[in-house]
């Protein structure tokens, strides 16, 4: 069966520090992968999606970037965090017509 | 762009009551998905719908894909305290280069009083 992992689960970072969030999927190959941000427990905002290694599409211009160095690995990064980057970050993968989410990373920028 | 209007935004009900929520779209979708999110966790897929008019159940949950393909509803019967959470609808449109991108509703916050 397929599983999706995210780490870390929680993170507290100061403004201006770098960020790296990791997502890995097991049990499938060449999945479509997605990064979402959720603020205040409502509304899922799509940030990036990837259909393959090295292929990244950005949905919203912002302070973040994404990379896909391996087939089942998706990374969300920032060089300098802003206070507005705080939120709950969710990775997801697509299985035919369905989409499954990871457990999420709670990021607090102080 | 595509928009999904999900209503109601929140519901406060007594245990044992039935719940109904719905989503309407400005665009036609070929897939409707319903998720539940518990606090601090990722959304969990409850029901997937693929055909207009389709009615699908998962335990006490029932969801329907609207005939116009622009709406869907979710019903929860005989609610229990563990039904508390945020429910999201999501739709995927036909064709194009959407790469499977889903459009999400803003969520319905459900509170169940024992």
State pLDDT tens for residues B37-71.
Answer: 999 999 999 999 999 999 999 999 999 999 999 99
- Sort out which chain B residues have CB atoms less than 8 A from A39's CB and list them: none
As a whole number, the mean pLDDT across chain A is 93
| Interface residue B107 vs chain A (CB under 8 A) | yes
Rounded-to-integer distance, Cα B90 and Cα A99, Å: 10
**Residue A97's pLDDT band (cuts 50, 70, 90):** confident
pLDDT tens-digit map of A35-82: 999 987 678 999 999 999 999 999 887 889 999 999 999 999 999 999
Would the CB atoms of A49 and B31 count as touching at under 8 Å? Answer: no
Contact present, A11 and A110 (Cβ < 8 Å): no
Confidence of residue B1 (pLDDT cuts 50, 70, 90): low
Average pLDDT over residues B82-103: 82
Q: Do A99 and B50 touch (CB under 8 A)?
A: no
Answer for the pair A74, A66: CB distance below 8 angstroms, yes or no.
yes
For A31, what's the count of Cα atoms within 13 Å in the CB-facing half-sphere? 26
pLDDT (tens digit, 9 = 90+) per residue, B7-41? 999 999 999 999 999 999 988 999 999 999 999 99
A90 Cα to chain B: minimum distance (Å):
7
Q: How far is A105 from chain B (nearest CA, A)?
A: 9
**How many Å lie between the alpha carbon of B63 and the closest alpha carbon of chain A?**
15
Q: Which residues in chain B are contacts of A44 at CB distance < 8 A?
A: 43, 88, 104
Task: Say whether residue B96 is in contact with chain A using an 8 A CB cutoff.
Answer: no
Q: Please, which residues have CB within 8 angstroms of residue A45's CB and are 6 or more apart in sequence?
A: A36, A37, A38, A39, A59, A60
| B106 to A98: CB separation less than 8 angstroms, yes or no | no
Contacts with B104 from chain A: Cβ below 8 Å: 43-44
pLDDT over threshold 80, residue B99: no
């Amino acid at each position: 069966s397929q599983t999706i992992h995210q780490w870390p689960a929680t993170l507290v970072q100061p403004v201006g520090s770098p960020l790296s969030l990791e997502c890995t999927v097991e049990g499938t190959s060449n999945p479509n992968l997605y990064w979402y941000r959720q603020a205040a427990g409502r509304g899922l905002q799509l940030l990036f999606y990837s259909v393959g290694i090295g292929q990244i599409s950005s949905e919203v211009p912002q302070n973040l970037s994404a990379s896909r160095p391996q087939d089942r690995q998706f990374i969300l990064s920032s060089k300098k965090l802003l206070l507005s980057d705080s939120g709950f970050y969710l990775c997801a993968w697509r299985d035919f017509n369905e989409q499954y989410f990871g457990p999420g990373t709670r990021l607090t920028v102080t | 762009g595509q928009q999904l209007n999900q209503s109601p935004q929140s519901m406060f009900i007594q245990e044992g009551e039935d719940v109904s929520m719905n989503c309407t779209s400005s665009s036609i979708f070929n897939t409707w998905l319903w998720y539940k999110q518990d606090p601090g966790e990722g959304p969990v897929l409850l029901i997937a719908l693929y055909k207009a008019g389709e009615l699908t159940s998962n335990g006490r949950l029932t969801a329907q894909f609207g005939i116009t393909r622009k709406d869907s509803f979710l019903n929860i019967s005989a609610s229990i305290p563990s039904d508390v959470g945020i429910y999201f609808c999501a739709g995927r449109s036909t064709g194009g280069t959407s790469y499977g991108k889903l459009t999400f509703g803003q969520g319905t916050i459900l509170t169940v009083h024992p």
